[in-house]
Amino acid sequence: MRRVLSYRTLLALFPNAPARKLLLMVLFIFVFWVVFMTSKDHTKFLFRFNNPITLRQWHIFKEFLHSEGLPNTPAPTAEVELMVMDILEKLNRQIPPRPFANLNTTTSAKESTATILNPRGKYCIGDRLDVLLVAKDHFGRRKQYGGDFLRTRIFSSALKAGASGKVTDFNNGTYLVSFTLFWEGPVSLSILLMHPSEGVSALWRARNQGYDRIIFTGQFLNGTSPVFTKCSLTLNTDAEQCQYLDARDNEAFYCLKPPNVPCEALTHMKTKNSNVSYLSIKEHLLFQRSNMAVEVIKNLAITVSPCRRNEIKKKKCQIGMKAPFPSGYIFKGRWISTFCKQNEFSQMQEINNCLTRKLIYLMGDSTLRQWVYYLQKAAKTLTFFDLHGTGLFQTHVLLDIKQHILIQWKKHSHPFVTQTLYSLKDDNYIPREIDQVAGDSSTAIVVTLGQHFRPFPINIFIRRVINVKKAIERLFLRSPETKVIIKTENTREVNENAEIFSDFHGNIQNLILRDIFRDLNVGIIDAWDMTIAYCSENTHPPDNVIAGQIAMFLTYIC
């Protein structure tokens, strides 16, 4: 008769303790393997096992690899890369190529016409004003396709009032420009042709064609002597490189390795604009200052009456609310939200009360650094803490020990574009910074991205925003009560370096930002809308604009 090998029989075959331990280990591994292979999610497990997510701080000097035997890009994360490609495909469909024979066949602001639809004898506060714009070329011929980059605004200089308009592109050379009439009195209309559709197409093609419009120079220390070398988001060379990689988030930065100097010795960075351009001579004509931001209509104005209307009570501004466009307007120099009720922070004590026991982390570019300076002046009890850094781009910390307030600004990592030498010693990507925040109901994070990404292919920006979103999702898993606010880009100066810094790039990035964060429980501060309403053409707008942004922020967190 067949005998079954029992557990005791097996133990008898292995009389000593070490042998029995080895047997138990083999059995455990076998059982684990059977359970693992029968699991439906074993492939997902393997993927996670090979791509661990750690919440320790990542630093460019802690993880670096030499170029020998490695590709010039980190291993891609499949999910993120698919999202990047999907967004890119949508944008490429929305911005098709628009070749042109000469400047005269492109859209002309002078020849184009704007007409008020269904004009009335009386306009009331709250009414909508519609304008039909018909785009024509320099010969006066109507355009057959859309895509012109327009900026629209209503304003009253005497009242220090202004608001953005909404543009609907019918893709046949006609546009509907809609304004909401928010205040009583005279209202002037402005429609600017920032770039014709042919210019938009040229900017889009040129942007995604190369990385070399900005020259990065890294400073390494060889003992106590500085050594400078070329750096970039990508380096096409066979020379030995220092590779600073974040494999989890597929982020990379490279420097040519200085002879006899280790990669960890990189300490500072600076940039300058190169002479590289991907625009043709003919396309360059579109970006002369006289051909950008040209008014389509002049001296078109109406008068608005108060009338009697039932006021709709607005709920207090809260995280997660969906902001329309326009999200607000300027009246008597003050930003007023259209979709929610703001708190009043007119007195220093009101600001201090709101900030008491708050931990606030500002992450991004120098447009958020402006908040630190403004809050220090507005709250007055806040003082700067010396972290032994130097220059404008060091980490800024404001403290109020008695009221337990901490406000920190830290710049985002590569790409960071400035001619000023800045330190990399505590450099970090925003997703890694968010991973270090414990979070609670008294913690707020504000993120802004955009201005420094404009000179580079759009996939760099898309990937970074997706990685920031994923970091926020991880934060919400451990601390769902933490408040997160996204500040959109400001508009900036109109200059002849449009290929690198045009607001067209900023507009595209704002659309991407809103799309990626649309389903996340975050607050939005629409700095794009605000700076158009204020008619600010400055990367770093004046204090009244900053005050409007901070008023929205304080309302969100208090």
Q: What is the pLDDT of residues 407-441, one digit of tens each?
A: 999 999 999 999 999 999 999 999 999 999 999 99
The yes-or-no verdict on residue 68 having pLDDT over 70 is no
pLDDT, tens digit (0-9, with 9 covering 90-100), for 118-161 = 999 899 999 999 999 999 999 999 999 999 999 999 999 999 99
The CB density around residue 346, as the number of other CB atoms within 10 Å, is 8
Q: Is the distance from CB of 164 to CB of 153 less than 8 angstroms? A: yes
Antiparallel, parallel or unpaired: β 241-246 and 251-256: antiparallel
pLDDT, tens digit (0-9, with 9 covering 90-100), for 489-535 = 999 999 889 999 999 999 999 999 999 999 999 999 999 999 999 99
Q: Is the distance from CB of 338 to CB of 329 less than 8 angstroms? A: yes
pLDDT value at residue 25? 57
pLDDT value at residue 30? 54
- Look at residue 274 and give its three-state secondary structure: coil
Phi, psi of 419 (to 5 degrees): -75, -15
Of 272, 285, 156, 192, the closest CA to residue 494 belongs to: 192
Q: Which residues pair with 218 in a beta bridge?
A: 229, 269
pLDDT band for position 26 (50/70/90)?
Answer: low
For all residues of the chain together, what is the average pLDDT?
Answer: 88
Q: Is the distance from CB of 502 to CB of 451 less than 8 angstroms? A: no
Region 306-331: what's the mean pLDDT?
A: 89
pLDDT band for position 299 (50/70/90)?
Answer: confident
Buried b (16+ CB within 10 A) or exposed e, 221-242: beeeeebebebbbbbeeeeebb
pLDDT, tens digit (0-9, with 9 covering 90-100), for 475-484 = 999 999 999 9
Phi, psi of 216 (to 5 degrees): -95, 135
pLDDT value at residue 65? 35
Phi, psi of 83 (to 5 degrees): -65, -40
Q: Which residues pair with 383 in a beta bridge?
A: 399
pLDDT, tens digit (0-9, with 9 covering 90-100), for 366-415 = 999 999 999 999 998 999 999 998 889 999 999 999 999 999 999 999 99
CA-CA distance, 246 to 535, in Å (whole number)? 39
Q: Is the distance from CB of 483 to CB of 319 less than 8 angstroms? A: yes
Phi, psi of 252 (to 5 degrees): -150, 150
64-68-69 Cα angle (round to 5): 110
pLDDT value at residue 164? 97
**In sequence order, what E strands does 50-184 have?**
64-66, 107-116, 123-124, 128-137, 149-156, 161-164, 166-169, 174-180
Tokens 């600076």: give the residue. 270
Q: Which two tokens stand for residue 416?
A: 């960071």
CA-CA distance, 510 to 487, in Å (whole number)? 10
Q: Give first-to-last CA distance, the chain, whole Å.
A: 81
What's the number of CA atoms in the CB half-sphere (13 Å) around residue 264?
5
CA-CA distance, 234 to 255, in Å (whole number)? 9
pLDDT, tens digit (0-9, with 9 covering 90-100), for 206-248 = 999 999 999 999 999 999 999 999 999 999 999 999 999 999 9
pLDDT band for position 347 (50/70/90)?
Answer: confident
The residue ranking higher by pLDDT, 336 or 70, is 336
The residue ranking higher by pLDDT, 55 or 124, is 124
The yes-or-no verdict on residue 54 having pLDDT over 50 is no
| Percentage of residues of the chain with pLDDT beyond 90 | 79
